[in-house]
Structure 1
Amino acid sequence: MVQNKWYVHPAIAVAVLVNVFVMGLAIAWSGDPAKLQRLLVEDGIVEWMQFLCFAVTSGLLAFAAVEHWQRERRIDLPLLALVGLSGIVALAALEEISWFQRILNVTTPEYFAQNNRQGETNLHNLAIGKKGSIHKTILLKVIAIAGLTHNIVLPLLARKRPAIRDFVERFGLYLPPLSASVIYIVLVAISHLVIDHPRKGELGEMFGAMHYTATVFAAYFLGIGYGKRPIFETPADSRRVGTLFAMLLVFLLLTAWLLSAGAGAEPYLALHPNGKD
Structure 2
Amino acid sequence: MNNITRTEKRGFLLLAIVFALSYFFAFTNMDFFEHGFIVEDGPVEYGTAVMLFCTSILSIVYLIKYHKNKSLTWKFGLVMFAILFFFAAGEEISWGQRIFDIQTGEYFMEHNRQKEMNLHNLEVGGKKLNKIIFSQLLTLVIVVYLLIVPVLYRKKKWAKNLLDKFAVPVVYWHHTIAFIVCTLLVLIIPHHRKWEVYELDFSLIFFLIFLNPFNKEIYSKS
Shared fold, TM over 0.5: yes
Name the CA shift for 1:229/1:109 in 2 (closer, same or farther; >3 Å): closer
Judged with a 3 Å threshold, the aligned counterparts in structure 2 of structure 1 residues 117 and 6 are, in CA distance, closer, same or farther, namely farther
User: In structure 2, what is the Cα distance between the partners aligned to 1:177 and 1:209?
Assistant: 16
**How big is each residue's C-alpha offset from its partner over 1:238-270, in whole Å with a ceiling of 9 and x where there is no partner?**
xxxxxxxxxxxxxxxxxxxxxxxxxxxxxxxxx
Give the secondary structure class of the aligned counterpart of 2:117.
coil
Structure 1 CA distance for aligned equivalents of residues 42 and 131 of structure 2:
20
| Alignment check: 8 A CA contact 1:156 1:178 kept | no
Rounded to whole Å, the distance in 2 between the matches of 1:183 and 1:133 is 29
Residue 204 of structure 2: aligned partner: 210
Is the 1:6–1:13 contact (alpha carbons within 8 Å) kept by the matching residues of 2? no
Deviation at 1:176, TM superposition (A): 1.3
Match of residue 21 from structure 1: 17
Determine whether 1:88 maps to 2:84.
yes
Q: CA RMSD in A?
A: 2.1
- Taking the TM superposition and a 5 Å limit, the aligned residue runs for 1:86-165 are 86-130=82-126, 132-159=127-154, 161=155, 163=157, 164-165=159-160
Tell me the TM-score normalized by structure 1.
Answer: 0.73
- Matches of 1:194 and 1:129, distance apart in 2: 34
Q: Would the alpha carbon gap of residues 141 and 196 (structure 1) be closer, same or farther in structure 2, given more than 3 Å must change?
A: same
1:121-172: CA deviations, max 9, x gaps? 1111111454x5211222211221111111222223444x162334321221
User: How far apart, in 2, do the equivalents of 1:89 and 1:42 lie?
Assistant: 19
Q: Does 1:201 align with 2:198?
A: no
Instruction: Give 2:217's match in structure 1, choosing from 228, 235, 246.
Output: 228
Unpaired runs of at least 5, structure 1: 220-224, 234-277
- CA shift for structure 1 position 7: 5.3
Helix, strand or coil: the match of 1:42? coil
From the superposition, tell whether residues 149 and 229 of structure 1 become closer, same or farther in structure 2 (CA, over 3 Å): closer
Q: For residue 197 of structure 1, report the CA deviation from its aligned partner.
A: 1.5
Higher RCO (Cα < 8 Å, 6 or more apart) = 1
Residue of structure 1 equivalent to 2:53: 55
Residue in 2 aligned with 1:34? 31
Q: Which 5+ residue runs of structure 2 have no aligned equivalent?
A: none
